[in-house]
Structure 1
Amino acid sequence: MASKAASDAAGPAAGPAAGPAGVPPAGKYLSSGVAGAAKILVVGPLGVGKTTLIGTVSEIKPLFTEAVMTQAGARVDTGGDRAKTTTTVALDFGRMTIDGELVLYLFGTPGQQRFLPAWRDLAKGSLGALALVDTRDLTASFDALGNLEDLGLPFAVAVNVFPGSPQHREDELRAALDLLPDTPLVACDARDPRSSVQALIALVRHLIHAATESS
């Protein structure tokens, strides 16, 4: 993580040829300049926008394992958008390159706590996580944040902005989510590439800082 690629990731975006915040145009293969890679989890409750965010930033065709929500599942999978008809049942996967040198392999986890065994398997080898939250129901994010703390996985929190989302001061959100002072807390729109990339860059900066502090 403390490589030149990681350091560059925390700096300004690449030149005009790059996409939002340094993300290159879509391509199947990694560029020859790639110097490092990191496995990153994207976590959060049902319907918080994990699949949307990965699809927004991925430079390759993302892998989604969406299944239609059944009536049986609806009795236990509460929360999220009531109009939502599908849910991730295994993982979402995408790839994003920052500044042409650092590749993030993004693994989206199922939002339901009943998928925790699969969740923990996906966490193996991860350097950190981006946790999405929805201010319309902050309590729905408690399980995901608790899981990250149990795993000892560094994370940043991104408040995904939905139409009509309640607005809160940062100190109020930190208190409600019981976040440590150094845990990054940012706002993002999972549908917007630049906003979503900036949330991931905030996580990368946090991981670099944590690695530097522990070295």
Structure 2
Amino acid sequence: MGSADSADRYLPDTVQESVKILVVGDFGVGKTTLIGSVSEIEPLRTEETMTQASVGVDDLAGLEGKATTTVAMDFGRITLSPYTALYLFGTPGQQRFWDLWAGLAEGAVGALVLIDTRRLEGSFEVLDQLEVRGDLPFAVAVNLFPDSRRYSESDLREALDLRPDTPIVECDARSRTSSMDCLITLVDHAFRKVSA
């Protein structure tokens, strides 16, 4: 979680390079939670309370306790070294907000696609959006909710129609260590693709 110390809000003067990552996924998969678990600053959140207007529009099956939703983006930061900072931009999951993706994707080195195996069908359109963008490397992170069914990597790869080189990792978006491991996997994959 973000630090209460105001000195931590500012980057050291030595930081000369920034890396931008998108965190994308279907509605309710844990994008806001993941960014909150790793950000060294209090994350910027654009969450709004869900109202009756979303009934019949947002699929709340399996998300009965969900009361808020991201309507623009989430933003967090991790200082990787005295010279490099990682900026995380979480996108809204609902299709009606996907026009925001184009601007958020500009300059990103890659995208971490968070999925929920309890609601796997919602990931298909998210992956289609990444394919439309074509050149943005991505990795898939399976957020393991307590009641999630586990699938083998090969079954997930086939169900999601992923290329053989697309990384798939499991994570607990609430855990800083687990979420950091997912981000490291994505960054490694993105830099390998750029180098190839």
Fold-level match, TM-score > 0.5? yes
Counterpart CA distance in 2 for 1:101 and 1:117 is 33
RMSD across aligned positions (CA): 1.4
After the TM superposition, list the runs of 4 or more consecutive aligned residues in structure 1 that deviate by more than 4 angstroms: none
Offset from partner CA, 1:52-82 (integer Å, 9 cap, x none): 0001100111100000111121211114512
Q: Which residue of 1 aligns with 2:185?
A: 202
Q: Structure 1 stretches of 5 or more lacking a match?
A: 1-25
Match of 1:127 among 101, 104, 109: 109
Q: Which residue of 2 aligns with 1:23?
A: none
Match of 1:65 among 46, 56, 62: 46
The one-letter amino acid of 2:8's match is G
Deviates more, 1:135-144 or 1:186-195: 135-144
1:85 aligns with 2:79: no
Match of 1:53 among 11, 18, 34: 34
Question: Secondary structure of 2:85's partner?
Answer: strand
Displacement of 1:32 in angstroms is 4.5
Displacement of 1:100 in angstroms is 4.2
Q: Which residue of 2 aligns with 1:17?
A: none
The count of corresponding residues between Structure 1 and Structure 2 is: 188
1:27 aligns with 2:35: no
Question: Secondary structure of 1:60's partner?
Answer: coil
TM-score by length of 1: 0.83
The one-letter amino acid of 2:159's match is A
The one-letter amino acid of 1:45's match is D
Q: Structure 2 stretches of 5 or more lacking a match?
A: 1-6
Q: Percent identity?
A: 58
Q: Which residue of 1 aligns with 2:139?
A: 156
Displacement of 1:120 in angstroms is 2.0
Displacement of 1:37 in angstroms is 1.2
Deviates more, 1:61-70 or 1:74-83: 74-83
